[in-house]
Amino acid sequence: MIELIVVLSVGAVLFGIGIYGALSQTNLVMIMMGIELMLGAAMLNLVAFWRYLHPEEYSIQMFVLVGMTVMALEAAVGFAIATQRFRTKGSVEMEEASDLKE
């Protein structure tokens, strides 16, 4: 079995890459990819802690599946907004998206 510190380190690295991607990019698709990476890292850490604390129980798997479903729905809605924005305005850059505030 992999040690807890290794899994948490991988999760921390993934979360850091996701934060960098979400904060440094101006493209809506790249920001969404960073957010997805952060959510995936958080779920990885959740599963690692649960496996470390309660190795005989598998109830957290259902929670992670619900979380992955929410991630997929968030991505689908975000990509739909990005596609519609590209069709109407020709760009998905966030600096030009001040009309989304209304």
27 CB-near residues (< 8 Å, 6+ apart): 92, 93, 94
Q: Is the pLDDT score of 100 beyond 70?
A: no
Please give the mean pLDDT across all residues of the chain: 88
pLDDT for the residue numbered 92: 83
Residue 83, SS3 per DSSP: helix
The DSSP secondary structure of 47-77, one letter per residue, reads HHHHHHH-TT--THHHHHHHHHHHHHHHHHH
CB 90 within 8 A of CB 97: no
User: What CATH class does 4-91 carry?
Assistant: mainly alpha
Residue 27, SS3 per DSSP: strand
Q: Where are the domains of the chain?
A: 4-91
Model confidence at 73, pLDDT cuts 50, 70, 90, reads very high
